Structures are given as structure tokens and as C-alpha cells.
Amino acid sequence: MGRVPRATDAIQPDHPQPVPTGSTERGLPVDWDLARRTAGRLMQPGPEATRIEAAELVARLRSDAAVAEGHVRHVTGLGHGLPLLPADVVDRPAWAAAAVLGMAALTADAQLPAVSRAARAVTARTAGLQVGGIVAYLGGRVLGQYDPFGGLAGDGRLLLVAPNVHAAQQALDVPAADFGLWVCLHEATHRLQFTAVPWLRSYFAAEVGRFLTVAQGSDRGAVLERLPEVLRAVRSSRGDSLAIVELLQGPEQRAVLDRLLALTTLLEGHADHVMDAAGPQVVPSVATIRSRFTARRRGGGLVDRVLRALLGVEAKVRQYAVGSAFTRHVVLAVGMEGFNRVWESPEMLPSRSELADPGTWLRRVHS
């Protein structure tokens, strides 16, 4: 028995790409190349699999990605006429390299105060090590990802992490063919969101850049004034890192964060809804997969749960539930065509309060 091949073998990315370097005034002070190398060193090896098993999984996932997007287009009514693009099936180090590249691209427009080259170099090295550690942790868990800023032209790239799909399927004890297609339904939905909605990619990047820029200019004195409130939140949050982060924001920064959280909650919930809506027709064991996967999202040992909380993974899990409930409510009320009004413009996106109360969005948009 061998391991799932590494990036130098069958699941190597088709086009290895250099990690960009930022200027002294634009982009985060992160040594992205160090982050990539650190993630590669810290990454845990993939699960045991024969070379034949690995090759079969890679071929099946590549096929599943195209099949899944066809089903997603049927369910959502989006993307008709767009080309069906391939997916890149990768190993953990290759995903980590792509993730670092995507983060660098996404944060490249952040406007930060100019500092000396020496100070920036020290900060960049420390941040690079930290980012690399986080990516290494996530690299053993991510099943797939659509990166809107990946690819040679920076116009998007769908990645499927073969060893993680294999490990999760084995842990859940569900049919391999069903599980791979189920995963692809979720990721293909994310790709379609960005490829079928022309303004979404630039809007998302602009909001991230705005959030990082505002964060750098925030009033540290005001943060210190809120410190007692933050400490109380730490004691009562039960690991809710998002609630603590929100308390540290100033009004302008919190407004941008609210918009970003609303958007990502919608995107994740919509993808979860679509994968389950398409599932019964194309994934016979979808009910079993969903129940076991949901339990897996909530599981893990003590150390794993602490890390998930610190990295905001628990907040992301809640996003799936809120966004899925919003999508389900709206689709039941006005159909998928009525739901698709969210994609008409940024003004049509639901706010965080509307996500929690879908009726308010329905009254605003469909009254």
C-alpha cells in the first residue's frame, strides 16, 4: 500500500504558479512564499491508498466535477450556455500552495500604512509562518474549494483534494462514488455562483480589500475601551471566535464585516441547499451522507475543537445552517427563480438580519 500520490505525481496541478510578492504600501505584509513552504513542511501525509485506487479516485473526481455542474445548473437555473470547465484534482501540498496564492491575490488591494522595509520584513516573516501553520491545519480537512482568483489568468480554479475526499469517505463509511459526486455538487455550486454572476468576483474582492484597509486604520484606543466587554465575551462565548472579532471592530469596520459575513453565509448556504436538492436524483445515499457529514462537522477531539474555534471554523459551520435555512425558505416561498434575484446586484443581497429572518428580504424584494 502506498500513499495518495503527491503533487509531483498524477494529481499535480496542471500549471504550477509563482507566489506574488506585495509592495510596501499595498497588500498584506505576509511572506507568501514562506507561508507556502511552511504549510508544505507541516502538512500531515495523506491516507493509505494503492496507486491504482488513487488513479481511479482522481479520474472519478474529474468526471464528477463536470457532471455535478450540469446538475447544479438544472437546479439553480444559472449558467446555461457557459462552458463546462474541468476541475484540478490535487493532493494536500498542492492545495496549500494554491490556497496561499489565492489569499495573496484576494488581499492584494488592501491599502496599509507605509512602514520601513525592515519592519515590514519582520512582520512578513512572522505572518508567513502563522499563515503556513493555519493552511497546514486546514489542508488535512478541506475536501474541495473554488478559488475565484486562481488559475493562470486569475479568473477562477476549482480544486478537489483527493486524499481528503478519500479519508472522509472512509471515515463516514459511505459509497465512494456517491460521496465524490456529493462533494462536487457543493463546489460546482460555488464555481457557478462566481462564473454566472458577473459582478460577484469584483464585489467580493473589493469588500475584502476595504475590510483590511479599514482594519489597519481602526482606533486602537476605542478597542482598549471595549476590552472589558471583550473579556466578558471570551468567558461566555464558548469558543465563538466570530463574536469576539465583532466586538473588536469599529463601526465602519463592522459594517464591512457584516456585508462580508452576509455574502459568505449566503454562498455557503446556497451551495448546501443545492447539493441536497440535486442529491436524491443523482446521489442515492445522500440522506446518509448528509446526516453523517453533519455529525462529523460538529465532532473532533478537544484540541481539534479548540483549533476550529480559533480559526473561525465553528462560525463557518453555523453559516451553512443559517444560509441553507434562508435559501430553503425563499425557494419554498417564491421558487428558485424568485430566489435568484439575490444575484441581480449587490443591493439585492440579503443582510445578516435578513438571513436570520427571510421574510424581511422577501418583503423588500418581492413586495
**Count of domains for the chain:** 1
pLDDT at 9 (0 to 100): 35
At 361, list the grid cell: 428580504
Q: 13-27, 84-98, 265-279, 350-364 — which is least confidently predicted? A: 13-27
Say yes or no to pLDDT of 190 above 70.
yes
Three-state SS at 3: strand
* Cα-Cα end-to-end distance for the chain: 61
Residue 238 lies in a domain: no
Give strand ranges (E) for the chain: 2-3, 48-49, 88-90, 144-147, 157-161
Nearest to 100 by CA among 182, 189, 29, 33: 33
- Within 10 angstroms of residue 298's Cβ, the number of other Cβ atoms is 10
Residue 236 lies in a domain: no
pLDDT at 209 (0 to 100): 83
Q: State the residue range of the domain holding 125.
A: 2-217+249-362
Say yes or no to pLDDT of 271 above 80.
yes
Residue 173 lies in a domain: yes
Residue 143 lies in a domain: yes
CA 177, CA 286: separation in Å to the nearest integer? 11
Say yes or no to pLDDT of 172 above 90.
yes
pLDDT at 314 (0 to 100): 52
pLDDT at 107 (0 to 100): 82
Residues 103-121 pLDDT 10s:
888 888 777 777 778 887 8
Residue 25 pLDDT level (bands cut at 50, 70, 90): low
Residue 233 lies in a domain: no
Residue 226 lies in a domain: no
